[in-house]
Amino acid sequence: MSKVKKKTRKAVASKFKVTGTGKLIRKSPGHRHKLTKKSSKRKRHLNADKVLDKAHTKTYAMLMGVE
């Protein structure tokens, strides 16, 4: 009986990056378009990477095949 390999979900893998400690990094939403009405401070804060919360990390790590 052969063991089936898990496939990486490419949609998830393209949205997150894994750190050295195993945490997932994501980009903030709202930094793609309609930037003229947003203040410089708001755009600067939206540009920063955010750490994915613990509740979702396990699920997305499994879909990415990192575990």
Q: Are 25 and 19 in contact (CB under 8 A)?
A: yes
Residue pointed to by tokens 């990390």: 57
- Record the pTM: 0.77
Angle of CA points 23, 28, 53, to nearest 5°: 35
Q: Which residue has the tokens 């879909």?
A: 63
Give tens-digit pLDDT for 4-47: 888 899 999 999 999 999 999 999 999 999 999 999 999 999 99
Q: Do residues 22 and 11 make contact, with C-beta atoms less than 8 angstroms apart?
A: no
Is it the case that residue 50 has pLDDT exceeding 90? yes
Q: What is the DSSP letter of 61?
A: H
- Does residue 64 carry a pLDDT above 80? yes
At residue 66 the predicted structure's pLDDT band, cuts being 50, 70 and 90, is confident
